[in-house]
Amino acid sequence: MKTDDFISMLANGVTPVDRHTLAKRFGVAMLIGAAGATLLVAVILGVRPDLVAVAATPIFWAKIALPLLLMIGALVTSTRLARPGVAPGGGWLLIGVPVAAVWVATLYVLASAPADERIAMALGKTWRVCPFNIAMLSVPGFMAVFWALKGLAPTRLAMTGAIGGLLAGSTATLAYCLHCPEMGIPFWGIWYVLGMLVPTVIGALLGPRLLRW
């Protein structure tokens, strides 16, 4: 058999790879995560009645900024880790800078407040349920993101699982802002971050099992 014939035989029936597979899978995952979390907020928790008025204030958009920036950072990092041999790159900065900024702001606000008010500012009124609500809202996104990653080729499974969990958690937190009445920076810096940390840790633990080729 000639070499050209042999190559033709091997190539026979091979279908081209869809170059947009990664974008399509993550697009579906993000849509499911955002829609699922928003639906759970509307059905189970309820949208805060003063949302329209609050949305006109700068502090509300500062509150939105934390999970939004983390979601973008986690999405960028996830799409990189989903490909074999690709480093996270600048995605770590997109994740670390918003968290560092809100923690610096938290320390400043608490240091400027009277000593007897600091604990109340840090706890808010809903600290007991906030992390659990975020974790609950992240379930649709968690399942969808892991579905997206499973169909790709990640090699750093624990790290990829953790970032996938953060992507689900930050998307859920963004939806949770439609319900949460807390408007204090210290509260976000502690309890929002803790809530997003729950699916992140779960993702790191399950990644090696669920994302294995």
Q: Residue 204: inside a domain, yes or no? A: yes
pLDDT digits (tens, 9 = 90+) for 47-84: 999 999 999 999 999 999 999 999 999 999 999 998 88
Rounded Cα distance between 90 and 97, Å, is 11
Q: What is the mean pLDDT of residues 27-47?
A: 96
Q: Residue 55: inside a domain, yes or no? A: yes
HEC string for 41-95: HHHHHCCCCCHHHHCCCHHHHHHHHHHHHHHHHHHHHHHHHCCCCCCCCCHHHHH
10, pLDDT greater than 50:
no
Q: Residue 15: inside a domain, yes or no? A: no
Q: Residue 2: inside a domain, yes or no? A: no
Domain that holds residue 98: 32-210
pLDDT digits (tens, 9 = 90+) for 80-103: 998 887 777 777 888 999 999 999
Rounded Cα distance between 9 and 7, Å, is 5
Q: What pLDDT was estimated at residue 90?
A: 77
**Number of domains making up the chain:** 1
Closest CA to 205 of 167, 165, 176, 175: 165
Q: What pLDDT was estimated at residue 85?
A: 74
